[in-house]
């Protein structure tokens, strides 16, 4: 069975992906989102989870925030080393969300406006701050302030994920995540045929 398994730092990423992936993936591709309780929990359990996963055709995508770490390549390499220790490195892909998951949302304020029913947010997309949100220091704080506290991590991620534009180019980390998902799905389809 073709399956993409997402190993995620937190439940909010699961909420977003569960509403985004049905619009992204082929109907034949199943997916499973496994959230952890933060980056330390993810790193502690990652090798064991991948090694013990029963579906031999599964592909794994690890998604973690940069969370202020100065070198995202160092974070990515540490996660790749954990995937390598599972014995299934060739079936794994690691993506680091620049800064935080909320960067994806700030890159698509029309999705936030629709999801949270806050009129006028999309107009702010052209302000300098929101044209390139991957450069923001604390996207979650920015989003909380912008929505006047209406954004909540899990519920907000679930509803915003339903509206995120798949062709949005303002967040390179969002674009890279979608590219990775499509690439892994293509590998699954090629293996299946």
Cβ neighbours, 10 Å, residue 18: 17
Q: What is the pLDDT of residue 69?
A: 66
Q: What confidence score (pLDDT) does residue 137 get?
A: 83
Closest by alpha carbon to 102, among 174, 19, 39?
174
pTM of the model: 0.93
8 A C-beta contact, residue 59 and residue 91:
yes
Q: Which residues pair with 93 in a beta bridge?
A: 61
CATH number of 3-100+170-192: 3.40.50
Q: What is the predicted pLDDT for the residue at 191?
A: 80
Report the alpha-carbon distance of residue 47 to residue 49 in Å, rounded: 6
CA distance 186 to 133: 29
Instruction: List the structure tokens of 172.
Output: 């390179």
**Residue whose pair of structure tokens reads 């013990």 in the numeric block:** 52
Per-residue pLDDT of the chain (193 residues; tens, 9 = 90+): 789 999 999 999 999 999 999 999 998 899 999 999 999 999 999 999 999 999 998 999 999 988 766 678 888 999 999 999 999 999 999 998 778 899 999 999 999 999 999 999 999 999 998 988 988 888 999 999 999 999 999 999 999 999 999 999 899 989 999 999 999 999 888 887 6
**Which residues of the chain form CATH 3.40.50?**
3-100+170-192
């Amino acid at each position: 069975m073709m399956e993409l398994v997402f190993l995620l730092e937190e439940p909010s990423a699961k909420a977003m992906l569960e509403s985004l992936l049905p619009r992204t993936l082929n109907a034949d591709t199943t997916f499973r989102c496994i959230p952890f309780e933060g980056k330390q929990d993810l790193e502690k359990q990652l090798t064991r989870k991948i090694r013990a996963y029963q579906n031999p055709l599964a592909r794994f995508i690890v998604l973690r925030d940069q969370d202020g770490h100065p070198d995202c390549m160092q974070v990515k390499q540490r996660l790749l080393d954990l995937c390598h220790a599972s014995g299934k490195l060739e079936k794994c892909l690691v993506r680091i969300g620049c800064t935080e998951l909320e960067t994806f949302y700030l890159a698509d304020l029309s999705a936030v406006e629709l999801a949270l029913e806050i009129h006028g947010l999309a107009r702010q997309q052209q302000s300098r701050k929101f044209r390139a949100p991957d450069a923001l220091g604390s996207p979650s704080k920015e989003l909380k302030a912008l929505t006047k506290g209406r954004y909540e991590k899990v519920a907000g991620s679930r509803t915003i994920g339903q509206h995120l534009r798949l062709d949005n180019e303002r967040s390179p980390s969002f674009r890279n995540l979608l590219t990775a998902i499509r690439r892994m799905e293509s590998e699954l389809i090629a293996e299946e045929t």
